[in-house]
Structure 1
């Protein structure tokens, strides 16, 4: 994605590069222990109780905020590598073997799971404005009428290095410690290292809480969907853990479909084709279309057909496209996006996500949101080529961060003297991926985990997949996700295992309350229909 690199840079800006010994010590006595990270090697936990009312039904639960310690592999299997933070909610009185359990995480990569926890399925939900900037604190924290606790026990997991999760270096000598931390980051901060870390966490969690015989689900958002494909394959084919279902929210499985930065991959025009319907939806929402349609969804079907037909054919011709046809395509794109014909011609009919966000409302020096294009805000530089920030992120991030930091300490009783990192301190994320069946080194130059999800589905033909996305998502356009699913290398007999739902919302579908209700109801129904409980 465009700004996956930015997210990493942002993480570096937000998080101090100081060692964990200096950042998270509770008191002076901590520094006198044999290893600066000695406290991280021991799992921690805090148990509390609560209740939530979901669509009129009360659910009493036990909450556990804690850490599990991951270890290396092979001759380093006894070496602690990561202290991984989670918050688990268990419905009281429910027998473990009959109760589904869902492992939930955001993306980034390297993001904490504050978003899905406080916005989607946790028992408490932070209140934010629908499509505008949420006023500053105090923020509202309310009973979540659409928590998923009515359908499943929940485990919210922070990625290694994010939230309260920490990489562990057990060397005492500073130089050796620094070198060990570099090795940790290299091993874990990448598609495959991250996938194995999450898979190890899940199997360890199943053992700790006696949940091996529970119906099991993965729920990932954004890069979390990339992770889910990798983790599903690892669990199925390395750990012999059959999953009941995988729920994907705002999917990206193949980074060749991303509208973020396609100009750096010339000759691959697919991202422009697949983003066009989201451009159209966004222009419709902001009243920028020269001839507004009566309704959104029939309009999008028309745009999808044009995108896969005349537009795709025109782009495939490259410089061979004649002038008259190029003009005709530009005029059609103007009708679908609201962008000026001259601008479209100068862009060679290829508009990136950042260009669209900057130009759609340029006449009023307004930048359109990326994660949720219903949002908009003042342009930082009206003369820039692309957007320089995301108005949606700026509009709601403070509310989520403040609400969770308050909630985890006061209600979950965890992390009192620790810093909650929104992003891990990632210098480099390794996007190289070794697809299932490949011998030797990773071959992909652009990450594509479609083979992983396909392998998991083929080796477990009962595995069900539920894809969800928003019409106003410019980070992972819905039509790109649909394209990926239509090209998943599975036999026709397994296509019935995939279901799809689109919402009038953005990347964080749940930030729109009506869409949150639909998402909850859809996922709860999906779990009920696949949990195999008699």
Structure 2
């Protein structure tokens, strides 16, 4: 495990102001003990009580499901944001009980993946590898939930899940980097205030674009509301979008994807016997070293490379990817993701997944240059998770809604990056500046060897280029798993994530008081 520490700064608060609403009747009473009457419901929420067994211990909790109204400064409702919150029963002192605000990415994704995959009290039943079982899909007690460590709030940003702008309000008001930060930040402020959680240790947990959101939120909350968080979990992180954009003139992704290419080629036994004999951790460490030295230098040289240098790079890329030297020459040493995913298993008539390269699919024909679809998404996770959470809402949380539940896309239009015109969105610099103002905050970065959406080496590259001081580098935990983008669908990784989460909460909370 590599450790570095990050602290997040206040980034410039927007002029977009939100009003604060203090209506405690719209949420569950988090200080209630188990024998008290059930918390009162509002017109916007439903409350239920249940339990989950974690590490052999029964955790009794109250679940609150429904909407939070997001209002403008003049008090008009602009949107209703869906959420599900879990609070442990019988807690007398909320200052000792952490609360973790959780969301997924997209942009345009609801929070069902983290909710029903790893962090919440119920999880979708998958195979050991993470394959979908035969429908109708089911869920079960999640013995790896983080609810024993922290209360949990799962947030669906506007345009995801059941969250909507109200009639007469353009949804584009919420769909952009700054706009999203403001509305989700407002939700966190309101929930914290209404449920009397200002004195609780606070954490943010995001996946994929949710990690981008987490970095921005840490700054926005600090700057706009003086709310300082204790820790951030960045699951399958993307902090600098330049690292994942395969476009002409941007050579950065090629060396950063190479370790993941190598891990995938190793997984499918496409490498030499010498390399196949290594474990994936040892192999990727070797490829990382080559990627940031000889390969990066070669790309920087461009046409200055000699014929001998060029041929040497071709041989090494073929060695580490299992692709032919002729194919690599045709790419001019720049194998983009679509090419790799189509080429690696072309002879077998299979394509490789983007979210998780351990999964394969079949296209209409084998001659194309890119996949028709992502077999690690459409054929693996979308059905079980959508069916599972809607079943869970109705069966256990007593919450139903006639609207379409947007899991990923569908409810979100064009995303607005007005804050970074003619440049790549990069939130890493915000994180660097934050250190001076919140030096106790911890960050945990989790990545999968088989993740092609947000490759683990790209996340590490960004963090190692933040200019962290030695004393700050100790405050980030970096963990790699033998899984893809959704780390937790792989059962061994799910188990390890739980142990690592317990350690992260324990280390962070130990420093309080």
User: Residues 176-216 of structure 1: CA distance to partner in whole angstroms, max 9, x if unpaired?
Assistant: x3xx42xx41x321111111111111000001111110000
User: Residues 242-272 of structure 1: CA distance to partner in whole angstroms, max 9, x if unpaired?
Assistant: 11001100000000000xx41x2x2321100
Q: TM-score, normalised by structure 2?
A: 0.88
Q: Does 1:471 align with 2:449?
A: yes
Could you tell me how far 1:150 is from its partner in structure 2? Answer: 0.7
SS in 1 for 2:376: helix
Match of 1:280 in 2: 262
Is there any run of 5+ residues in structure 2 with no aligned partner, and where? 1-41
1:89 to 78, 82, 86: 86
Could you tell me how far 1:237 is from its partner in structure 2? Answer: 1.9
Could you tell me how far 1:380 is from its partner in structure 2? Answer: 3.7
Q: How many residues were matched structurally?
A: 466
**CA–CA distance in 2 between the matches of 1:133 and 1:93?**
38
User: Residues 308-354 of structure 1: CA distance to partner in whole angstroms, max 9, x if unpaired?
Assistant: 01111111112232222212111111110111111110001111111
Q: Superposed, which structure 2 residues align to 1:3-402 within 5 Å?
A: 44-72=44-72, 76-94=73-91, 95-131=93-129, 133-169=131-167, 177=168, 180-181=169-170, 184-185=171-172, 187-258=173-244, 261-262=245-246, 264=247, 266-291=248-273, 292-393=276-377, 394-402=379-387
Structure with more relative contact order (C-alpha pairs < 8 Å, separation 6 or more): 2
The answer (yes or no) to whether the contact 2:130–2:491 under 8 Å persists in 1 is no
1:498 to 464, 476, 491: 476
SS in 2 for 1:317: helix
**CA–CA distance in 2 between the matches of 1:231 and 1:43?**
28
Match of 1:481 in 2: 459
Could you tell me how far 1:43 is from its partner in structure 2? Answer: 6.2
**CA–CA distance in 1 between the matches of 2:152 and 2:131?**
30
The answer (yes or no) to whether the contact 1:432–1:444 under 8 Å persists in 2 is no
The answer (yes or no) to whether the contact 2:130–2:490 under 8 Å persists in 1 is no
**CA–CA distance in 2 between the matches of 1:43 and 1:476?**
40
The answer (yes or no) to whether the contact 2:235–2:445 under 8 Å persists in 1 is yes
Match of 2:415 in 1: 429
Could you tell me how far 1:85 is from its partner in structure 2? Answer: 0.5
Q: Does 1:405 align with 2:403?
A: no
**CA–CA distance in 2 between the matches of 1:456 and 1:69?**
30
User: Residues 433-490 of structure 1: CA distance to partner in whole angstroms, max 9, x if unpaired?
Assistant: 3xxxxxxxx5562111112222333210111111111111011110000001111244
Q: TM-score, normalised by structure 1?
A: 0.84
Could you tell me how far 1:424 is from its partner in structure 2? Answer: 4.8
SS in 2 for 1:476: coil
SS in 2 for 1:333: helix
User: Residues 336-393 of structure 1: CA distance to partner in whole angstroms, max 9, x if unpaired?
Assistant: 0111111110001111111111111111110111111111121343111112211111
**CA–CA distance in 2 between the matches of 1:232 and 1:492?**
22
User: Residues 59-97 of structure 1: CA distance to partner in whole angstroms, max 9, x if unpaired?
Assistant: 11000001111123xxx4423222001000001112321
Judging changes above 3 Å, is the alpha-carbon distance between structure 1 residues 360 and 344 closer, same or farther for their aligned structure 2 residues? same
Could you tell me how far 1:517 is from its partner in structure 2? Answer: 1.4
The answer (yes or no) to whether the contact 2:160–2:412 under 8 Å persists in 1 is no
SS in 2 for 1:415: coil
The answer (yes or no) to whether the contact 2:129–2:491 under 8 Å persists in 1 is no
The answer (yes or no) to whether the contact 2:130–2:489 under 8 Å persists in 1 is no
**CA–CA distance in 2 between the matches of 1:455 and 1:200?**
22
Judging changes above 3 Å, is the alpha-carbon distance between structure 1 residues 382 and 112 closer, same or farther for their aligned structure 2 residues? same
User: Residues 274-332 of structure 1: CA distance to partner in whole angstroms, max 9, x if unpaired?
Assistant: 00000000011111113323221111111001000111111111223222221211111
**CA–CA distance in 2 between the matches of 1:348 and 1:524?**
46
SS in 1 for 2:66: strand
Match of 2:12 in 1: none
SS in 2 for 1:502: strand
**CA–CA distance in 2 between the matches of 1:305 and 1:257?**
17
The answer (yes or no) to whether the contact 2:160–2:405 under 8 Å persists in 1 is yes
The answer (yes or no) to whether the contact 1:233–1:455 under 8 Å persists in 2 is no
Match of 2:402 in 1: 417
The answer (yes or no) to whether the contact 1:164–1:415 under 8 Å persists in 2 is no
Tell me whether 128-137 or 269-278 shows the greater mean CA deviation: 128-137
Structure with more helix by fraction: 1
Is there any run of 5+ residues in structure 1 with no aligned partner, and where? 1-41, 170-176, 434-441
**CA–CA distance in 2 between the matches of 1:130 and 1:358?**
26
The answer (yes or no) to whether the contact 2:81–2:162 under 8 Å persists in 1 is yes
